[in-house]
Structure 1
């Protein structure tokens, strides 16, 4: 499937997803991942765990070869390109920061799943302390029975001053 078709399909699937009520205890994240997307959400968590552990090979194995990564206003259009540019810095930052999920939603239709996560990250970027509100969209494709990350879109902003 071409990238424009993949993006359009993901948006259509997202728009067609049923809205479900979610109970939230104080301080607990809002999590509403449909049963058919649970395995895809596990892959997203494994990807982040690999980055945090500095295991870049494991992180890369969870991505398709033609993954499309949008980060900091740029695009990396393959697993090899991501490995050559942002992967090392992403792993270093993940290992030196604490990330918290505040909301996560996910669904799937056939062999396409999407996991949408909001959260915050506090850590060290170079010599500077950072505190960011984060947004992440991951689209995953299932092939040969396993889910792989096809697209990542990360964005963040500074936590507003109190």
Structure 2
């Protein structure tokens, strides 16, 4: 914490994590992984909702497990189960949304409750989850549509999500989420 009471991560832009370095995903690491994903052009993403080509080295089951972890996270939010949602995040997870970056502690204390409230109030239709696995890291992209009312305001939006996951002894866990959304164009 800084003298202003904000976490050092948010005020300085530098990831300071009490977790072991092997599980740490700094902002530089997140940006590097996002850049690698953007530059990847040799393979097409596997679409979980559609039949996939046979894959080697368990990549198909890894992809299915990654997608299942992401679905379980969203199901936990919709059910209002913050503990189940938090168990699917790594201790050093970062949430990137609305122009800011939150540590897991920031997210737990500031934003998780509003994400649960939104998930419970608004009908969300999620698109297919596209997964890429590279060793013990994976990233997944998906889109969604949201309609309904939240906090007394109408919602009619489309969104995109990028999740970065790490293989742990407990299975795949979410190391980073990036969400963006906009009002649906008429």
Above 0.5 in TM-score? yes
Identify the match of residue 39 of structure 1 among 61, 65, 71.
65
CA contact (8 A) 1:107 1:115 kept: yes
Name the residue aligned to 1:121. Answer: 146
Moved beyond 6 Å, runs of 4+:
none
Structure 1 residue 102, shift from structure 2 partner:
2.9
Partner SS state of residue 86, structure 1: helix
Name the residue aligned to 1:134. Answer: 159
Name the CA shift for 1:31/1:155 in 2 (closer, same or farther; >3 Å): farther
Query: Which one has a larger percent strand, Structure 1 or Structure 2?
Result: 1
Structure 2 gap segments, 5+ residues each: 1-23, 53-58
TM score, norm. by length of structure 1? 0.85
TM score, norm. by length of structure 2? 0.74
| Bigger-Rg structure (1/2) | 2
Query: What is the number of equivalent residue pairs in this alignment?
Result: 154
CA contact (8 A) 2:25 2:175 kept: no
Measured against aligned partners, the alpha-carbon deviations of 1:84-120 in whole angstroms (never above 9, x if no partner) come to 0110000000001111123431110111011100121
Name the CA shift for 1:145/1:61 in 2 (closer, same or farther; >3 Å): closer
The RMSD of aligned alpha carbons is: 2.3
Name the residue aligned to 1:26. Answer: none
Structure 1 gap segments, 5+ residues each: 23-28
The yes-or-no answer on 1:61 pairing with 2:87 is yes
Name the CA shift for 1:130/1:6 in 2 (closer, same or farther; >3 Å): closer
Name the CA shift for 1:73/1:20 in 2 (closer, same or farther; >3 Å): closer
Task: State how far apart, in whole Å, the 1-side matches of 2:66 and 2:114 are.
Answer: 24
The yes-or-no answer on 1:8 pairing with 2:11 is no
Partner SS state of residue 19, structure 1: coil
CA contact (8 A) 2:66 2:172 kept: yes
Partner SS state of residue 127, structure 2: strand
